[in-house]
Amino acid sequence: MKSIYLRNFAATATMVFFCFLIFASVFVGIGRNYVISEYRQDMVNSANEVSRTASAIAQSDSLSSWVLSMSISSIASSTGNQVFITDENGTIISCSDRAPVCEHMGVTLAPEIINQLRLNGSLDKIGTLGGLYKSSRYIVAKPVPSAGDGETIGYVFVTNPTDNMLGAWSTFLTVASVVTLGVFCAAMLVSLVYSKRMARPLDEMAAASRKFARGDFSVRVRQEDNPDDEMGVLIESFNKMADSLEQAEKRRSEFIANVSHELRTPMTTIAGFADGILDGTIPAEDQQKYLRSIRDETRRLSRLVRDMLSVSQAKSSASDPRRRTVFDLTELILQTLLSFESRANEKNLDVDPQFPENHIMVKADKDAITQVIYNLLDNAVKFAKPGSCLILRLYKDCGKAYVSVKDFGETIPPDDLPFVFDRFHKSDRSRSLDKDGVGLGLYLVKTIINSHDEDIAVRSEDGMTEFVFTLTLAE
């Protein structure tokens, strides 16, 4: 079976089939015994009733009286059983058959039957009563006591063909089988429909995945059922993944376009100035100026390549546990902050370091964390308003060291906040680490922090922007 819904249906059908099989087996066994037990209990009740009637009539008449014969015929007619009475020696003297001449009258039962009845006080068996009947019958027998002294004066026999009992059971079984088959078919139909309904989202996901493979990320899976169950959560997660893939593809295209533009512009400038110098279009007295332009554009290309290589190297080096050492995070921040002293003075920034009295020791890749702090400080100094405050805060909580870099200047738009660390997102604020490059600074920061299994977050509101990242404290 190639379809998951058919496999699910087959599993459900097999389970239901075996459940019904077990139920039917138990039902047949218990039901058959119940029906037979009811019949035999009815025969016992009839035997007791006839015994009491015969004992009462025997006080004034004999067991072969016409009155007793009519009584047992009436009882036999109402119950469907055959009833006859024997004397104490086992000779049949009264029978419920209404034929003018009953074939059973005067027949003497086998001595072993009477002896067994005398010994046990009752009889309950299946047999032919020593050949009295041609086929097996259920037989119940009771003694008829004398009303005076309680001595046995005869015996009551109540019989019924086994075919009658099994016939009633067969009728009951047929009805039960039809009902069971109907319920089974209904269960299979419901299971088939439900399995198909359950597999529909999976089929849509498979079709969507094939479209993803062809580059179409616009398709989504419909959410028809309860979104809070497992399938609903899976569909929601799948659609979110599709949204992420579509956004990633869009940003990838934008990134390629941006990089292509950044590469094409300086290369066109370099080629144009070089051709002008070589063919004499640019006068000799102006060549120094254009050579400086070629130099600047070459350095710009170098910075672009360097940033892209930095991202690639950060992914491999920052995740290497062997490069992680224990160092003083407080001292590292102060040392990095010193490199921004001149730039902070130029913008008249008030730097406010908020550090604890005791130095905080962490375990991480020191060079990579230096790059993170440098990039965040560079970003804060660059976008802080002149004369504003730059706040650096360091604290620890729950086994983690927290580093906060806060500046007051331009607010990042709310729509851009989720993407400030994404190299594919084009935003002036998120590309702030290099106005002449492609904005890989914050992406590099997030890559390094995530490689350490740590977190970084950004908050920007009312002219305040704050970046906070975590590091694990040294043991």
What CA–CA distance (Å, rounded) separates 428 from 37? 91
What is the distance between the alpha carbons of residues 90 and 414, in angstroms, rounded to a whole number?
Answer: 108
Tokens of 31: 């039901």
pLDDT at 471: 93
- CA nearest 34: which of 137, 181, 176? 176
Burial class (CB in 10 A: 0-12, 13-18, 19+), 374: middle
Please give the CATH topology (third level) of the domain spanning 4-167.
Answer: Beta-Lactamase (3.30.450)
Task: For the chain, state the CA radius of gyration.
Answer: 51
Highest mean pLDDT among 28-37, 228-237, 298-307, 365-374: 365-374
**Res. 437 pLDDT band, cuts 50 70 90:** very low
Percent of the chain with pLDDT over 90: 16
**Rounded Cα gap, residues 250 and 330, in angstroms:** 40
CATH pick for 321-472 out of 3.90.700.10, 3.40.50.720, 3.30.70.1340, 3.30.565.10: 3.30.565.10
Contact 390, 380 (CB under 8 A): yes
DSSP string, 293-316: HHHHHHHHHHHHHHHHHHHHHHHH
User: Predicted confidence band at 255 (pLDDT cuts at 50, 70, 90)?
Assistant: low
Domain ranges of the chain: 4-167, 230-316, 321-472
Q: What number is the average pLDDT over the span 315-321?
A: 64
Q: How far apart are CA 312 and CA 322, in angstroms?
A: 18
* pLDDT value of residue 261: 65
How far apart are the C-alpha atoms of 341 and 331, rounded to whole Å? 16
Q: Which CATH number fits domain 230-316: 1.10.10.60, 1.20.80.10, 3.30.300.30, 1.10.287.130?
A: 1.10.287.130
Q: How confident is the model at residue 310 (pLDDT cuts 50, 70, 90)?
A: low
Q: How far apart are CA 279 and CA 275, in angstroms?
A: 6
Residue 417, helix vs strand vs coil: helix
Phi first, then psi, for residue 436 (nearest 5°) are: -95, 0
- Residue 23: what pLDDT? 75
For residue range 439-461, what is the model confidence (pLDDT) as tens digits?
A: 677 888 888 898 888 999 999 99
Residue 416 to residue 351: CA distance in whole angstroms: 27
Q: What is the pTM of this model?
A: 0.45
